[in-house]
Amino acid sequence: MKNNNYYIAVDLGAESGRVMVGILEEEKLKMKEIHRFPTKQITENDTIHWDIYFIVSQIKEGIKKASAQGYNQPKGIGVDSWGVDFGLLDENDELIELPVAYRDKRTDGMMEKVFEIIPKENIYKIAGIQFLKFNSIFQLYSLVYYKPEVLEKAKSFLMMPDLVNFFLTGVKHNEYTDTTTTSLMNAQKRELEKMFFDKLNIPFGIMQKIVQPGTKIGEIKTELLSELDLQSTNVFAVGSHDTASAIAAVPAQGNNWAYLSSGTWSLLGIEVSDPILTEQALKYGFTNEGGIEKTIRFLKNIMGLWILQRFRHSWSERGEELNYYEITELARKAEPFQAYFNTDDERYFNPKDMLTELENYFTETNQIVPNGIGEMSRVILENLAFKIAYYLKQISQFKSESIEVLHIVGGGSKNVLLNQFISNVCNVKVIAGPDEGTAAGNIMTQAMANGDIKSLSEIREYIRNSYPIKEYIPQDIDIWKENYKKYIEICTTIR
């Protein structure tokens, strides 16, 4: 007889989504991937949208596959995704338009227009969120500015995980951790800041009740139970922002650690009990996002493996199909420290061709243009490590204890070369794993909501018992220190 102490996690990333089953047994978590699918985008009228109907159909397919494998009576289902993006429903609870993807150009210039109405310093003192042009506040203001008719029709604002939960349960809510990424929350009060809505002419009434991770939202709609071959099933709010779930699954002990959620984006930070809203935090561009048990994730959003992903795509279009392991092996054998660039420069945000963009930059700056997949991949990974070291030095200024350990979780934790580079240049011990940290945190938060787990500290104890971790000790410290200085000298536009 199958152990029925299991939960289903729906984990949506900007590149792919997955449906996972997590089984709690003998104080360990065992994870099983059931279904993986692309998080499909479509372009209509020169606007990039998330195909939410395709995504939901794939989520349903994953749940049906889980049921077919005997997991048809889960103790709960939880949904997480990337932040900032949302859908708007009309008075009939129908989508007014497909959710717009954060890499769309509709927010170009919107930050500056918002700052003319509310100075950036005032926004930061309240919301405490890093200013990125795709933050929800700027997406919404682009509707005020260009498409007010959409907001006139809008009755409900749902972040991407909230929207999926609505399709599954019929219940509308705004989960706390994901809503903090909007820059519309009061970080200290942990509630929506109505002043922002009033001054920007964004209707406050579209917002829903804020619920904390670990809250029961509702149950799968009766009409879906037969379609999904499920028994009556609870749906829980988890750390719906994927990084919140990932950080819940950091197998940390003590207070001498920082974390890096490594994937399409790299999110580097520390866990604190209260938001840090100082001028220095604003100057450095740090963000205060909500976490499990009302913790604050004080972190920096860094352009992560997106650059390598798009570089791989560039080579794919040229007829070179290589997986990430093969690319990393070529990078390992390549000549080190050939060129330097600022991975966070906006030119790498969504270029038509990443390889051409990189080659143009190295030519413009009179540097060696790396030749071939191995050389360019190594340069990308080295400079990602340099960037992480740069911000780790900054973030350590906000922590009373010295940072001696960097925990790396997420898909990027499997990149052994990048992990070693980070350890070398940061001169700290790196502990990598789990690679499915987001799904693990999602599952364990559901278990906490259901009473199977008592606290965040117990979640982390389960994770330590459940997953093998790999340690990296700094190597070639002097060489990396010397090249880090060159990186700083060349990348004068670092932000």
Residues marked as catalytic: 242
Instruction: Look at residues 406, 415, 407 and name the one whose alpha carbon lies nearest to residue 377.
Output: 415
Rounded alpha-carbon distances, angstroms, from residue 97 to 42, 85, 104, 144, 381:
12, 13, 14, 15, 38
In 65-184, at which residue ranges do the beta strands (DSSP E only) sit?
77-80, 86-89, 156-159, 174-175
End-to-end CA separation in angstroms for the chain? 56
Instruction: Look at residues 274, 267, 285, 271 and name the one whose alpha carbon lies nearest to residue 124.
Output: 285
Whole-number Å distance between alpha carbons of 100 and 116: 24
Q: Counting beta carbons within 10 angstroms of the beta carbon of residue 285, is it exposed (0 to 12), middle (13 to 18) or buried (19 or more)?
A: middle
Whole-number Å distance between alpha carbons of 74 and 67: 9
- Kindly report whether the peptide bond that precedes residue 434 is cis, defined as omega within 30 degrees of 0: yes
Please give the helix or strand (H or E) that residue 110 lies within, else none. Answer: helix 110-117
Find where tokens 């997949």 sit. 373
Please give the helix or strand (H or E) that residue 395 lies within, else none. Answer: helix 372-395
Find where tokens 């650059």 sit. 307
> Edge-to-edge strands of the sheet including 296-303?
287-290, 296-303, 265-272, 257-262, 405-409, 429-432, 470-472
Tokens of 269: 């930070």
Whole-number Å distance between alpha carbons of 257 and 333: 31
Whole-number Å distance between alpha carbons of 427 and 257: 13
CB neighbour burial string for 212-227, b if at least 16 within 10 angstroms, e if fewer: bbbbebbbbbeebeee
Do strands 405-409 and 257-262 pair parallel, antiparallel, or not at all (unpaired)? parallel
Is-contact 437 250, C-beta < 8 A?
Answer: yes
Whole-number Å distance between alpha carbons of 261 and 438: 9
Tell me the CB-side half-sphere exposure of residue 246, using CA atoms within 13 A: 35
Find where tokens 């604003």 sit. 282
